[in-house]
Structure 1
């Protein structure tokens, strides 16, 4: 007996059930009708195409659909990704680390992290939160940027994955973040509103990030001569370079602004720390040790680094907090190496609520002395 063919409406009903919590299929079919009629033609076409895919025998595959006008954008993005590989990114970092030390210590770095609603079956990342921290070795942390991003409608076939991921990881509200006082952004209802919201997010992102452009090595198969570097970790626990780059790509594709994606290159913060340490000390600090420094703070909590919303939730997965934590680790390792005078901007802000619990003064979290034998995590930096 042949299986009943999927219909666009029943696929929509399945998604509607995951949002509403209604488990009775007969009731759901009737109750979802009003929401189905409210969909625009483009949204309905996506469900119809998904039904055709399932009925063609490719069951389980879900398309990340792009309007025809975006196909050229997709091709340009493909060329951009093919133009610079991991080896080229490492070369860009090595070239930067060969600059005069006075220039290096005054350079502004931007550490960026995203939270996503889901990674689709086509490896598309749906960004919903971004946190960026600006710092230099000399001045410490100077500024930060945080925003909740309109992720648009839940991708077809991913309703349960979105709900499970968001509740388990960053605990952001599933459908309407406007109920929280931290932002006025609401879940958009139409594609036009979604695009307009993303355009505003891209404009704010560009306005904040003013990184010095790095030259792209000669011989690289790309038309780009210079790019603005953004730094994050290599891929760890589903976070890192791939997710960050994927979020930038998704935003650029949705609004057809490929220049936004082409303007930036996401580089490895761990390798930058490795190269700078080797440049100054004269010997390499084991890459595994550099990785471990960052890995230990991925799931840790640092007071006064969360966004306002995540300050009220029990999770370390705030995009802004991760950027702060990674920046503090970077400074903690390299400040003694460069013999930089430590300021409050180089250290996490104290948590007065915690300090009140202690009768005696708390020991400084980062023990950085002015002598050449400063200590990091109980070890002499010269011995690392």
Structure 2
């Protein structure tokens, strides 16, 4: 296998904006609280359509490098009135991914309730809102769905949604004064190592043995960051950081997992 590009010459790369993190030292970084968010849709229509997405599932985790996953949030979202022409497209997209039913799905909650509960989870106390991150490939969809849910629910917070790849690059740059490439970071976050780990997917997707789950995406981001960075900071991995029990009990890696593992797997050294 060809190793991903690992180090980009510093003079050719603009460093990510880390000003919002205020990571002045290791202790500030280790104790910092981050939220990883994802929203799944029943489908996607072309950019010229007013209704681009139809939100159906939301997942979020509260995370720190020192303590791992501190709490998680998950809800299914009722689609409400389905726009004309959306149903067939949505059904095809759902059948090929998360398989959440478009209608007659009793687990869904209305958008206003979901959004209120999400904001209470992220921001339970008055003060500055914490950083909220998602994968860059999902950012447009997640941002659009949040704004749409705010408009329909008349709840306005205008959250700033950041790319988690920039967070990882920034941590490496601040800790080691070198930057891994975005290609390497994406490979780090896309491993299949944790796909079948217990307590990663929501209960419904776990019971139906479906890998596509909004909560699982968020938890796997936390697992990958922990696996790559915790030992570099002298943090012992726990069940809150990665599903240790499943990995240690199996004592094996499947070919699918091996194809997806980043080049730094099992190494305590940064990827440069």
TM-score (norm 2): 0.80
Provide Cα deviations, 1:182-224, integer angstroms capped at 9, x if missing partner.
Answer: x3x47xxxxxxxxxx222112111110038999xxxxxxxxxx
Aligned to 1:128: 56
Aligned to 2:177: 282
Q: Of 99, 104, 120, which residue of structure 2 is paired with 1:207?
A: 120
Aligned to 2:151: 253
Does the C-alpha gap of structure 1 residues 273 and 344 become closer, same or farther in structure 2, counting only changes over 3 Å?
same
Q: Is 2:223 the counterpart of 1:328?
A: yes
User: Runs of 5+ in structure 1 lacking a partner?
Assistant: 1-88, 187-196, 215-225, 365-374
Distance 2:191 2:227 in 1: 14
Task: Quote the RMSD (CA, aligned, Å).
Answer: 3.0
Q: Is 2:135 the counterpart of 1:233?
A: yes
Q: Of 155, 159, 163, which residue of structure 1 is paired with 2:91?
A: 163
SS in structure 1 opposite 2:191? Answer: helix
Does the C-alpha gap of structure 1 residues 96 and 116 become closer, same or farther in structure 2, counting only changes over 3 Å?
same
Equivalent residue runs for 1:1-384 within 5 Å = 90-91=16-17, 93-96=18-21, 98-121=23-46, 122=49, 124-178=52-106, 183=107, 185=108, 197-210=110-123, 227-235=129-137, 240-257=138-155, 259-260=156-157, 262=158, 264-297=159-192, 300-348=195-243, 350-351=245-246, 355=249, 362=251, 376-382=264-270, 384=272
SS in structure 1 opposite 2:131? Answer: strand
User: RCO higher in 1 or 2 (8 Å CA, sep ≥ 6)?
Assistant: 2
User: Runs of 5+ in structure 2 lacking a partner?
Assistant: 1-14, 254-262
Q: Report deviation, 1:363.
A: 6.9
Distance 2:65 2:267 in 1: 21
Does the C-alpha gap of structure 1 residues 298 and 209 become closer, same or farther in structure 2, counting only changes over 3 Å?
farther
Q: Report deviation, 1:125.
A: 2.0
Greater gyration radius: 1
Distance 2:219 2:245 in 1: 14
Q: Report deviation, 1:112.
A: 0.8
Q: Report deviation, 1:151.
A: 1.5
SS in structure 2 opposite 1:173? Answer: coil
Distance 1:212 1:268 in 2: 24
